[in-house]
Amino acid sequence: MLGPVVAGLWGTLLPAFGHLPAAGLTGPSLDPFRDLFDWAGLPRAVMLSLSTGLLATAISLAIVVLVTAGWSGTRPFRALERMLSPLLSVPHAAAAFGLAFLIAPSGWLSRLMSPGITGWDRPPDLLIVQDTLGLTMTAGLIIKEVPFLLLITLAALGQSDAQRSVTIAQALGYGRVTGWLKTVFPRVYAQIRPPVYVVLAYSMSVVDVAVILGPNTPPPLSVQIVKWMSDPDLAMRLEGAAGALLQLGLVVGALIFWRMGEVVVAGLGRRWIARGNRGRFDPIVARGALFAGAASALIVLLGLVVLAIWSFAGFWGFPDAFPDQFTLRNWMRFGPGTLEALGETALIACTVASVALILTIGCLEAEYRYGLSFSQRAVWLIYLPLLIPQTAFLPGLQTLMLSVGADVGRLPVMLAHLVFVLPYVFLSLADPFRAWDTRMGTIATALRASPDGVLWRVRLPMLLRPILTALAVGLAVSVGQYLPTLLIGGGRVATLTTEAVALASGGDRRAIAVYGLMQTGAALVPFALALLLPALVWRNRRGLRHG
Amino acid sequence: MDKGLSLKDVRISKGGVPLLSITHDINPGEVLTVMGPSGVGKSTLLAFITGTLAPDFRAKGEVWLDGNNITHAAPHKRRVGILFQDDLLFPHLSVGANLAFGLQPGGNAAERLTKIEEALDEVGLSGFAVRDPATLSGGQKARVALMRMLLSEPCGLLLDEPFSRLDAALRAQVREMVFDRAKARALPVLMVTHDADDAQAAGGEIVTLGG
């Protein structure tokens, strides 16, 4: 899967130095960079990219770590976990729209409080959504990254014997949070480091959330790159490519900065441990973190609720808390369009997720049969496509495809999706697949079942639940892809996500709501099925009910 | 070459460090017990015989079963049955389907069903075919695992601490049943254990590794 990434970077590199034969330009020249640095919005765009990325990553990581430290194993934690895990599959765009509909000056929160509490009888003239500092955009990223990091952390916790360490720390008089941070966190962080880096790279270069929640003048760098790349004037692509390289540099720089931060935090942490503080403020910290975690889950949920309300809303004047009447008209009007987009989305997602699943099972089974093992370095290789910002290599891939005359369309889009879907499917299935008791295989082999027989008749049926979950993860990732669909599809492949994001600038809340809900459904339904199917198929098999 | 299981100058090492070496012939119906503390490589020896040795081990020597050199045969063609301390019934299959998995192909559905019923009758589990293995007691599971293995018509039998999860009363009963069946079918048996009672009950030669 590194092929497309490398090709894409190459395709970015050439035009960035003025080489684009398709537009009759040959390099090398530094003009694209000169144009880029002449753009007045650049410092702002760069700052936005850095601040939203670093802030969103740091805050969501802090929430997840402190909530886990303060509450893991308790009932509130399990409740929060249950609330957050389905939210993982809510597409970024839908969550972002939900947030916008909640907190905009004319959003639901303002309506609920007006005019009673605020005294407003018209939406206040405040720039909340698309604020110039990108704070709303940061919030939109946080509410989506918290469930992701929490699930990753839980997976890491399972392998780190955390409970006993905390018990010992508590016996030595440490508070819950302090004890956890001092004993468990270093182990857990070592395991969740790759996904944390993915969150950082993603948050710095995200496009769909930035289009919906980010500032406009100037927009974050990633959005501007897409604008340049979509410009009818081919020459603008040179500037776009230069921007993409700058974006790549920024992400690499931020990752190095984060790594240095880790070293500093580790040093401070060692000193903190040596001082022996028992954690006087633990209860406050723990409660604050739980509140933040719950709030983040609640915002996504309320966002979906307000999307649902808008999708059925007739006339809804400010500051009424609810629409005058509920109607099916919006669904009748946008339904056919969404169904068409749903078909395209489903076709792409099902194909890509299935291919990714087959490749993953093939890899893991080969690893088992031939006794291969992946090193820590190979794990980083799997993460690499997720660490290189999409905006850095997708434009290049698009340019490259144009210059070799390859047709844009569905198949290339599927390939581009596969680059992002495969790592997630692999990461989701690898642990349960490897955790399978290989003595089952030995027994089946001793019963004279062939290697394929063992795979099909024993291993895959026993792993039905994690396999379906991995498939659902793949589907959700594909459904949520915006940039690959837009750029590689050349604007001709219309999925629910591209259609929904395209509606952002228009501001038709009813249309957005219908598309956003359909998009959420497309990602959520497979997860529900992944839970439901094994429970049905194995309803008479107690040994498989948990696992 | 005569019947039985023969280990000819088998030497297993890990990372260049010799782990164990053994040469032995086990005649049909006889039991060889290999004893020794944990970590000495008892299970590794069994993995070598079943053909599932982990790649970080190196093995020399040959394994012969009923006159065939199976040292390099594909694991599923060796006809070596194995029982572990856990019953390892396939959790997704009913008791009957577990037995059907072991039963060699051939015969129509009715004949196969009869064979499975007979196998269950033999160990006092008549009518258990439709049960979920997870609902069985430890002793019942052990009996199903034994019959599943026997239905695959192995030419030799390996036992990997097979009775250590059973409580004392059941233990003797299951043990007797396994050894009786093996003797009745004239199977050479190789058992690894760290339990002196098991070794005693087996009644055959005892080899002690390491220690």
Model confidence pLDDT, tens digit, residues B130-184? 999 999 999 999 999 999 999 999 999 999 988 888 888 889 999 999 999 999 9
Contacts of B158 in chain A (CB under 8 A): 446
Closest by alpha carbon to B139, among B115, B112, B163, B106? B163
ipTM score of complex: 0.89
Residue in the structure block whose two tokens are 């809900």: A517
Contacts of B55 in chain A (CB under 8 A): 370-371
Q: Do A446 and B50 touch (CB under 8 A)?
A: yes
Average pLDDT over residues A280-296: 92
Helix (H) or strand (E) holding A499: helix A496-502
Q: How many helices (H) does chain B have, and how many strands (E)?
A: 6, 9
Model confidence pLDDT, tens digit, residues A184-241? 999 999 989 999 999 999 999 999 999 999 998 789 999 999 988 888 887 888 888 8
Buried b / exposed e over A426-440, threshold 16 CB at 10 Å, is bbbbbebbeebeebb
What is chain B's mean pLDDT, rounded? 91
* Reported confidence tier of residue A547, pLDDT bands at 50, 70, 90: very low
Chain B interface mutation, best of A372, A373, A374, A447, highest count of B Cβ atoms under 10 Å: A447
Q: Which two tokens stand for residue A83?
A: 């609330």
Q: Do A446 and B55 touch (CB under 8 A)?
A: no
Buried b / exposed e over A223-237, threshold 16 CB at 10 Å, is bbbbebbbeeeebbb
The predicted structure's pLDDT at residue A16: 81
pTM of the model: 0.89
Closest CB to B134 among A371, A453, A541? A541
Out of A29-38, A238-247, A257-266, A334-343, give the one with best mean pLDDT: A257-266
Report whether A519 contacts A479 (CB < 8 A).
yes
Report whether B166 contacts B174 (CB < 8 A).
yes
Q: Is B202's pLDDT higher than 80?
A: yes
Report whether A542 contacts B132 (CB < 8 A).
yes
Residue in the structure block whose two tokens are 């949920």: A301
Closest CB to B149 among A447, A458, A543? A447
Residues of chain A with pLDDT > 90, as a percent, come to 56
Q: Is A462 on the interface with B (CB under 8 A)?
A: yes
Q: Which two tokens stand for residue A78?
A: 């399990």
Helix locations, chain B, DSSP H: 42-50, 95-102, 109-122, 138-151, 168-184, 196-202
Q: Is A497 left (phi over 0), alpha (psi -120 to 50) or beta?
A: alpha
* Beta-carbon contacts of residue B121 (< 8 Å; ≥ 6 apart): none
Q: Do A446 and B104 touch (CB under 8 A)?
A: no
Q: Do B52 and A457 touch (CB under 8 A)?
A: no
Q: Is A277's pLDDT higher than 60?
A: yes
- Of A15-19, A66-70, B134-138, give the lowest mean pLDDT range: A15-19
Q: Is A2's pLDDT higher than 80?
A: no
**Using CA atoms, how far apart are residues B162 and A450, in angstroms rounded to an integer?**
24
Residue in the structure block whose two tokens are 């782990």: B19
Closest CB to A443 among B78, B88, B132? B88
Instruction: Count contacts between A and B (CB, < 8 Å).
Output: 80
Report whether A532 contacts A458 (CB < 8 A).
no
What is chain A's mean pLDDT, rounded? 89
Q: Do A442 and B50 touch (CB under 8 A)?
A: yes
Closest by alpha carbon to B26, among B193, B154, B157? B157
User: Residues A365, A369, A371, CA angle at the centre, nearest 5°?
Assistant: 110
**Using CA atoms, how far apart are residues A141 and A375, in angstroms rounded to an integer?**
31
What CATH number was assigned to the domain covering residues B1-79+155-211?
A: 3.40.50.300
**Using CA atoms, how far apart are residues B192 and B202, in angstroms rounded to an integer?**
11
Closest by alpha carbon to A424, among A387, A466, A383? A383
The predicted structure's pLDDT at residue B1: 53
Higher pLDDT, A451 or A491: A451
**Using CA atoms, how far apart are residues B132 and A326, in angstroms rounded to an integer?**
50
Q: Is A190 on the interface with B (CB under 8 A)?
A: no
The predicted structure's pLDDT at residue A22: 67
DSSP for B38-81, please give it: TTSSHHHHHHHHHT---TTEEEEEEEEETTEE-TTS-GGGS-EE
User: Residues A427, A429, A433, CA angle at the centre, nearest 5°?
Assistant: 125
Q: Do A445 and B79 touch (CB under 8 A)?
A: no
Chain A interface mutation, best of B65, B76, B160, highest count of A Cβ atoms under 10 Å: B76
**Using CA atoms, how far apart are residues A124 and A122, in angstroms rounded to an integer?**
6
Q: Is A262's pLDDT higher than 60?
A: yes
Average pLDDT over residues A70-87: 87
Strands B57-65 and B68-69: antiparallel
CA distances for A270 relative to A171, A193, A215, A274, angstroms: 20, 19, 40, 6
Model confidence pLDDT, tens digit, residues A242-253? 999 999 999 999
Report whether A227 contacts A219 (CB < 8 A).
yes
